A = this chain, B = another copy of it.
Amino acid sequence: MTARQRIVLVTGSAGIVGGVLADRLADRYVLRGFDRRASPLPGPIGDLADPAALGAACRGVEAIVHLAGDPRVDAPWATILQENIVGTAALFEAARREGVDRVVFASSNHVVGQLEVEGAPAIHGGAAGRIIGADEPFRADSLYGVSKAFGETLGRYYSDRHGMRVVCLRIGSVVRDDDPWLEAQRLGGDPMVNYRRLRATWLSHRDCAELVVAALEADVRFAVVYGLSANRRRLWDLEPAGRLLGFRPLDAAPDQPP
């Protein structure tokens, strides 16, 4: 914790991750929200498509956590285009214009989701012995995944060409009530099938908040890492987040539901 708290803008602050950050990081940073809906963080209601509102939201902040976007893996192209592609481009450009030094971009495992599609269901049982690294070429399983790959590529460009620090977090499963078994029962279909994936992909609220702190504090120009708890049967590689950001998860999903 620094003496003077940094001002951090959180876009998409009305979502579940925004709520986790509001709950857990309000004493570490001066957090501002930016969302089309009312959010738990102070800040204007606004849309990424409104350049004046976005510019004003970025003014004077030292870092941005960009969570806004359509989070649905099966979202149609129209909203993926507007919210994830046009919106993310507007965010990076506004950050550059306002001289914001650092952007933490909420990416997704769906940039290589096809690897999981081709490995399922064995890949969720730990039987396949496969842990997916952060340096695999993009294999999006959806237009959503394509849009997140676009965001990572754009972030690299802003880092390389405009000197911005950019950290792309492929955020695991952050669930309501912080309980993967409750979530597995809520999702519909076979809860055990759901749980086998969630025990591989879970990111606890506490680990999620510390992952964002690590991304805000790390001395890196650009990084792409997976963010998940220390789940024993994990699907994705935790090593890059440890090496590049110093992230050490404290939680882990149990192998079996309670």
Contact = CB atoms under 8 A, between A and B. Distances in A.
A29 interface: no
Interface stretch (A36-44, A144-152, A203-211): A144-152
B114 A139 contact: no
* Count of this chain's copies in the oligomeric assembly: 2
A217 interface: no
A193 to B, nearest CB: 21
Nearest to A114: B160
A140 B142 CA distance: 22
B141 A146 contact: no
Question: For the complex, would chain A's binding face be called helix, strand, loop or mixed by DSSP majority?
Answer: helix
A137 B155 CA distance: 13
A149 B153 contact: yes
A149 to B, nearest CB: 5
Given A146-B150, A150-B150, A89 B114 contact: no
Contacts of A153: 138, 140, 146, 149-150, 153
Nearest to A149: B153
A93 interface: yes
Contacts of A81: 85-86, 89
Contacts of A77: 89, 93
Interface string A121-154: 0000000000000010111111101100110011
Question: What are the 5 A-B residue pairs with the smallest beta carbon separation, nearest first?
Answer: A140-B157, A149-B153, A138-B153, A114-B160, A150-B150
28 contacts: A77-B89, A77-B93, A81-B86, A85-B85, A114-B157, A135-B137, A137-B137, A137-B156, A139-B156, A139-B160, A140-B153, A140-B154, A140-B156, A140-B157, A140-B160, A141-B157, A141-B160, A142-B157, A142-B161, A143-B157, A145-B157, A146-B150, A146-B154, A149-B150, A149-B153, A150-B150, A150-B153, A153-B153
